[in-house]
Amino acid sequence: MKNGMKKTAAVVMAAMLMGTGAVVPAAEDMGIFSQTAIVAEAASVGKVTGLKSKTLSNSEIQLKWSKVKGASGYTVYMRKNGKYNKLGDCKGTSYTVKKLPNATRENFKVRAYKTVKGKKVYGEYSANWNTATNPQACKGLKVSSVGTDSVKLSWTKIGCTNYRIYQKIKGEWKEIGKTTGTSYTVKKLAPATKYQFKIRACKQDDKKTNNNHYGKYSGVVTATTKKSDKITQADIDAMKAELTAYSREKAEYIKKHYTEFWKYGIDYNTLEEYFSMVERKVSPQSSSYDRVDTISFTEGSDFCNKFLSMYKEYIDYECKKRDDVYYVVYIESCPNGLDVNSDPCWAVYLLY
């Protein structure tokens, strides 16, 4: 009678503790005193907390959690088809899940256990934790087409949320855009210029926290934009430099007598300094000029050569007419045009 009462009390206690989440072996598998001991142990198995992760690659995720006092070990579970399935046991507080598909989100739980009389007694499951594996490295990156100010890139599709595009700018790789497709056009580039690009895939971990996982970078591709058939600012700058050098060469009187001018030793000391001083000070508003010519923004790049030849003839003529004057080639951009040309253009002056 007494034994029956003890057994009944033990079973009632076990039922109460199971209601808290602790899991105990079946009562019929052991004696009354062993059953009571296991029930007591089950009550003391704590719940796993602090579950977090680190994505190691496109196929491995490392889980970590806080230590549960007195636990013999831990069991790790992963959800599949709506159920949490056991992955394995471990003694420590970390576990690496391997051989996962790339660029996929997975959901995990962990619970602690104690081993009593050869049996595992479990505590409550941890809160669930989801994270993702990295995408694989992007493949097939190539330059699809090249324009004067753009480069179109394309690549092979892989599993990911989006692709990030990078450009090497001043020696450093910088992200310049992203897309969900398998092509991207980089715009606003300079004509006849070499550029380098690479990409990598991104898997968004959780939309709420915006955690991202990235695959390895693709190989680097190089593209050179086409030379523009329109005159650019670089063409104008080169033309000005050539005309300025030509004007200095023709200024024979200045080259012979610059040390006799009263500003010598005050505002300048060398011929180069004299030329630079004059060029800094003059403008169409403060100096004289005999003519102004314009170059429309829409002119073809070959027009510069014709203009160079024409202006060299002007310089020759003016230097013969006034051999003691230095003619400064002054060029300004006029997006709204000016009196002699209402269209967007560059205005070119010979100032003296």
Per-residue pLDDT of the chain (352 residues; tens, 9 = 90+): 444 444 444 444 444 444 444 454 433 344 444 555 555 565 679 999 999 999 999 999 999 999 999 999 999 999 999 999 999 999 999 999 999 998 988 999 999 999 988 899 999 999 999 999 999 999 999 999 999 899 999 999 999 999 999 999 999 999 999 999 999 999 999 988 999 999 999 998 766 666 789 999 999 999 999 987 888 898 999 999 999 999 999 999 999 999 999 999 999 999 999 999 999 999 999 999 988 999 999 898 889 899 999 999 999 999 999 889 999 999 999 999 998 999 999 999 999 9
Which residues have a Cβ under 8 Å from the Cβ of 202 and sit 6 or more positions away? 135, 160, 161, 162, 163, 164, 178, 212, 213, 214, 215
Sign of CA dihedral 224, 225, 229, 234: negative
Q: Is 149 helix (H, G, I), strand (E, B) or coil?
A: coil
pLDDT at 29: 44
pLDDT at 39: 58
The owner of tokens 């007195």 is: 70
83 beta partners:
80
The owner of tokens 């003059």 is: 282
Phi first, then psi, for residue 257 (nearest 5°) are: -120, 10
Residue 44: CA count within 13 A, CB half-sphere: 13
The answer to whether residues 171 and 251 touch, using CB atoms and an 8 Å cutoff, is no
Q: Where are the beta strands (DSSP E) in the chain?
A: 52-55, 61-64, 73-80, 83-90, 94-97, 105-116, 119-122, 129-132, 142-146, 151-154, 162-169, 172-179, 183-186, 194-206, 211-214, 221-224, 289-296, 328-334, 345-351
Q: Is the pTM of this model over 0.75?
A: no
| Separation between Cα atoms, residue 213 and residue 55, nearest integer Å | 8
Helix axis angle for 233-250 and 303-321, nearest 10°, is 20
C-alpha angle with apex 76: 50 to 215, nearest 5 degrees?
Answer: 80
Which two tokens mark 170? 């001043």
Whole-angstrom CA distances from 188 to 150, 197, 345 are 6, 15, 21
| Separation between Cα atoms, residue 137 and residue 209, nearest integer Å | 24
